[in-house]
Amino acid sequence: GQQLNQSPQSMFIQEGEDVSMNCTSSSIFNTWLWYKQDPGEGPVLLIALYKAGELTSNGRLTAQFGITRKDSFLNISASIPSDVGIYFCAGQIRGGADGLTFGKGTHLIIQP
């Protein structure tokens, strides 16, 4: 089946720093999504990308859908303590009526 390679696995940063993480795939996905998971909770959608080349922002978060449809990145600017958590990329082939294929996650730890 499809696999998403997400990197880095973990990041230890100082508050206020910018963060960048990415996902690559050997297969094409027609929708890319970024989720965040807090301890003891389910993943929550941060940003959804529907077109190749699309660049979308949500507050301090910016994500891009790669032109080849095989990759995506997520940037977080000026990190704050509540950004701590696990960030997952996910892809869909057929859009909304389709299960999600997830990356293994990036664990973000922020030192004050």
Which string of x and - marks every residue 12-41 that binds another protein (by CB under 8 A)?
-------------------x--------xx
Q: Which of 10, 18, 44, 68 binds another protein (CB under 8 A)?
A: 44
The interface region with another protein, picked from 14-22, 57-65, 76-84, 96-104 by CB under 8 A, is 96-104
Residue type, 102: F
Tell me if 9 sits within 8 A of 22, measured CB to CB.
no
Show the beta-strand stretches assigned E in 1-112.
Answer: 4-7, 10-14, 19-25, 31-37, 44-49, 55-58, 61-65, 71-76, 85-92, 101-102, 106-111
Which string of x and - marks every residue 63-82 that binds another protein (by CB under 8 A)?
--------------------
Residues near another protein, by CB under 8 A: 31, 40-45, 48, 50, 88, 95-97, 99-105
